[in-house]
Amino acid sequence: MRTVDFLVIGAGILGLSIARELKRRLPDAAITVLEKEAEAGRHSSGRNSGVLHSGLYYPPGSLKARLCRQGAAEMAAFHEEHGLPLKRCGKILTPAAPRFADEMAIIAERAAQNGVKAKILDERALRELEPETRSATGSALWVPDTAVGAPLAAIRALARDVRAQGVELLFNSELADISPQRRQAIPRNGDAIHFAYAINAAGLHADRVAHRFGAARRYALLPFKGLYWKLNPDAGIRLNHLVYPVPDLRILYLGVHTTTAVDGAIYLGPTAAPAWGRENYLGLRGIAPAELPRIARHLARMFISDQDGFRAQAWQEGRRYFKRWFFPAAQSLLPRLEPRHLLPAAKVGLHPRIFDREKGELLKDFLLEHSENAIHLLGATSPAWTSAFPLARHLCDQIPFFDRGEPA
């Protein structure tokens, strides 16, 4: 049996950021990161769009609003420090229908309250900045500070950094058993690990890990699948910015938008259709028969109650799994787009939404739950990658012994 001060469960961007922050605070601490996959970032954080969000959407005072803007600046600096590709392109939000004018005004106000640069464009200014898009109201919102990074490259660079600082990364080490009282974790392949304190940053599996600690029983994962199409480079459509629709604020989804990756490829998406397993990326792969009744039950409950406009989202996003219904949403942003311009893309991700079984709704913010000798990060969906560094600091501030100034 090995003994460590901190056991971090999950080697995505958040688990690695937390390990780095712990090392900064306690350079001599023994820290081990446990990861069930063969390398870091195999799931949500390594598959995200790469957009460094500016923080304009989130209600003022929320963790997402407080951490996103600072996180974007720090993640951009991390890319530059490590020589990673970074595209500072900015973002434009356009209303797809006149009814979205009020939503755009609300978002512009949130941007101001959250300290995010944003400017209302008239029709002429919009044509000059982004001639390929349109606005149903004649105006749009320009957010100049949005950028796009390289998620997997950043995660790999961060993994190298924390290893160089003395953090132990154990791959192919799925958590098989845990004893919170004895402070002991048993990987499926490896020796038992005795820990002083555990941090659960397991992403798509964070709720199950928390339940093993006897924590967060009211919460359960409800995964949603994000599918993309790729814009054919021969389509003749050139974009200067990311182009987003003004979202329907009644639902928890930003809508189909464009993302220009650091290699210049343009993607349209993602969808937000229910997934039937924690790792159900494509087709039947990753479907978890044992979890199907639970997922179906939670979806049915949300549909019946219509929490967060779920009926509209289910109708809209369920159909967008198919190109026939995806295309109109994409064309509403890019009027010259034709169906033949959309190419199949391997790019697909999963949103690890957390369902509150007591309230019958999805979490809208990051959530930290404490248990004996451990802390659990739940709801680490967008903008978790953007916010990773300040979110890691915020989590470490909640670890009890830091308040007392004691070592692990």
List pLDDT tens digits, range 158-167: 999 999 999 9
Q: Is residue 44 part of a domain?
A: yes
10 Å Cβ neighbour count for 90?
18
**Mean per-residue pLDDT, 293-312:** 90
| CATH number of the domain enclosing 69 | 3.50.50.60
Residue-number span of the structural domain to which 204 is assigned:
1-86+148-218+357-408
What is the number of alpha carbons within 13 Å of residue 366 lying toward its C-beta?
Answer: 29
Give CA–CA dist 389/178, Å, rounded. 27
Residue 344 above 60 pLDDT? Answer: yes
Question: 189 pLDDT band (50/70/90 cuts)?
Answer: confident
Q: Is residue 27 part of a domain?
A: yes
Q: Is residue 137 part of a domain?
A: no
Asked if residues 374 and 197 have their Cβ atoms less than 8 Å apart, the reply is yes
Q: Is residue 135 part of a domain?
A: no
Least confident of 26-30, 102-106, 131-135, 345-349: 345-349
pLDDT confidence of residue 309:
82
Q: Is residue 102 part of a domain?
A: no
Q: Is residue 153 part of a domain?
A: yes
Q: What is the DSSP string of 3-33?
A: EEEEEEE--SHHHHHHHHHHHHH-TT--EEE
**Mean per-residue pLDDT, 250-260:** 89
Asked if residues 222 and 280 have their Cβ atoms less than 8 Å apart, the reply is no
Q: Is residue 119 part of a domain?
A: no
Query: Packing angle between helix 151-164 and helix 13-25, nearest 10 degrees?
Result: 30
Q: How many domains are there within the chain?
A: 1
Say what percent of the chain tops pLDDT 70: 98
pLDDT confidence of residue 401:
67
pTM: 0.95
Per-chain mean pLDDT for the chain: 94
Asked if residues 197 and 399 have their Cβ atoms less than 8 Å apart, the reply is yes
Residue 315 above 90 pLDDT? Answer: no
Q: Is residue 402 part of a domain?
A: yes
Residue 384 above 60 pLDDT? Answer: yes
CA-based R_g, the chain, Å:
21
Residue 94 above 70 pLDDT? Answer: yes
Give CA–CA dist 401/197, Å, rounded. 10
pLDDT confidence of residue 405:
45
The values of phi and psi at residue 384, to 5°, are -65, -40
